[in-house]
Amino acid sequence: MSTAKHTALIKSMAASLGFDYCGIARAVPLDDDARRLEQWLNGNHHGTMHYMANHFDLRINPQKLVPGARSVITLLKNYFPAVQTPPGQEIRISKYAWGEDYHEVIRTALKVFLTGIRKDIGEVAGRGFVDSAPVLERSWAQRSGLGWIGKNGNLINKTQGSFFFIATLITDLVLDYDDAFNKDYCGSCTRCIDHCPTEAILPGKVIDGSKCISYFTIELKDTLIPDKMKGRFDNWMFGCDTCQDVCPWNRFSQPHQEAAFTPIPEILNMTTGDWEQLTEEQFSKTFARSPLKRSKYEGIRRNIRFLNRGEQ
């Protein structure tokens, strides 16, 4: 088959596997991103996420991850829910964590994807990634024409906003490449900056990860959340959607069609009292397939205590 037919086949296969968008970019070193990443690390914006400083060369060069890499295929999967949290709910959880763990859902789809490519095209070297390796997903998404990186650091798609998971498939297959998305439609809007509860969004599209609520409630492994953050979490117990919720482009968000992302009933229905009384056994059973297990039971308990009158 020709390169054009290979490309069409791959995009058709991506759609059949439930991905909402598929873009393809040439696999080249990301020199500009390397400089920005280095500045970000030097600014200590990664806090205790020391893994962000590891494997620097792999992050900026796809050929280090997949020898002979020629193409980077970027896939977007919508996770915007059809339902919203009940008014007045005291405990808030980021929408991406309402259903099953997206890592497992998307990783399975990527395996099927790569198997299908090899079946229809032939022996192809490739690896799929979904937050599982040092890949600059948003940069590749922008390079493959899927959107621009907003002031809040999220990829924004002009048609459907930013509530997407990003997956990457790096392969040695030569394909037709999409044009990069070189326009920035954020304009003079600063809603995400103005509404960030912890002032983690800095000028120049720089995110101070060490100030982000998602960092404190998920990434931080300390037994205590710093006292200086008391009263600033706006009831977010796991992650934070504020910068996305206020983004004007997300008025175009459409409900996802992925059954695995159907909200776990407890996510929407548990009261603060329910969360406080949750046992480790109940947590393990209820959230066995949920992203919440990433923080583990003690981490969730810590976050709940912190929100409840600022005590830990």
By the 8 A CB rule, do 242 and 232 touch? no
By the 8 A CB rule, do 31 and 60 touch? yes
215, two tokens = 């960092």
Residue 132: pLDDT over 90: no
In the chain, the amino acid numbered 230 is: K
Higher pLDDT, 223 or 243: 243
91, two tokens = 């405990």
Domain residue ranges in the chain:
1-312
Residues 185, 188, 193: CA angle, nearest 5 degrees: 100
By the 8 A CB rule, do 126 and 117 touch? yes
* Bridge partners of residue 166, in order along the sequence: 76
Question: Looking at beta carbons, which pairs linking 34-43 to residues 24 or more positions away fall under 8 Å?
Answer: 34/59, 34/60, 37/136, 40/206, 43/206, 43/208
Residue 193: pLDDT over 50: yes
What is the pLDDT, as a whole number, of residue 213? 97
By annotation, the residues acting in catalysis are 131
By the 8 A CB rule, do 144 and 178 touch? yes
* pTM of model > 0.85: yes
- How big is the chain, counted in residues? 312
Q: Which residues contact 99 (CB under 8 A, 6 or more apart)?
A: 79, 258, 260, 261, 262, 263, 264, 290
What is the pLDDT, as a whole number, of residue 125? 94
Residue 312: pLDDT over 50: no
State the alpha helices, DSSP H only, in the chain: 3-16, 31-42, 56-60, 62-65, 102-121, 137-143, 191-195, 213-214, 242-245, 265-269, 272-277, 280-286, 296-307
Q: Report the range of poorest mean pLDDT among 77-91, 92-106, 194-208.
A: 77-91
9-45 burial, b for 16+ CB within 10 Å, e for fewer? bbbebbeebbbbbbbbbbbeebeebbeebeebeeeeb
Strands 236-238 and 92-93: parallel
In whole angstroms, how far apart are CA 307 and each of 24, 68, 167, 227, 303?
43, 49, 33, 12, 6
In whole angstroms, how far apart are CA 289 and each of 100, 131, 285, 293, 294?
5, 17, 9, 8, 10
Give the pLDDT confidence of 50-72 residue by residue, as tens digits. 566 566 677 778 998 899 999 99
Closest CA to 64 of 74, 77, 75, 54: 54
- Per-residue confidence at 133, pLDDT binned at 50, 70, 90? low
For 128, phi then psi, to 5°, come to -105, 145
303, two tokens = 């976050």
By the 8 A CB rule, do 168 and 129 touch? yes
d(CA 205, CA 240): 18
- Per-residue confidence at 198, pLDDT binned at 50, 70, 90? very high
Closest CA to 74 of 148, 21, 26, 30: 21
Q: Which residues contact 65 (CB under 8 A, 6 or more apart)?
A: 58, 127, 129, 133, 134, 135, 170
- Per-residue confidence at 258, pLDDT binned at 50, 70, 90? very high
Residue 284: pLDDT over 80: yes
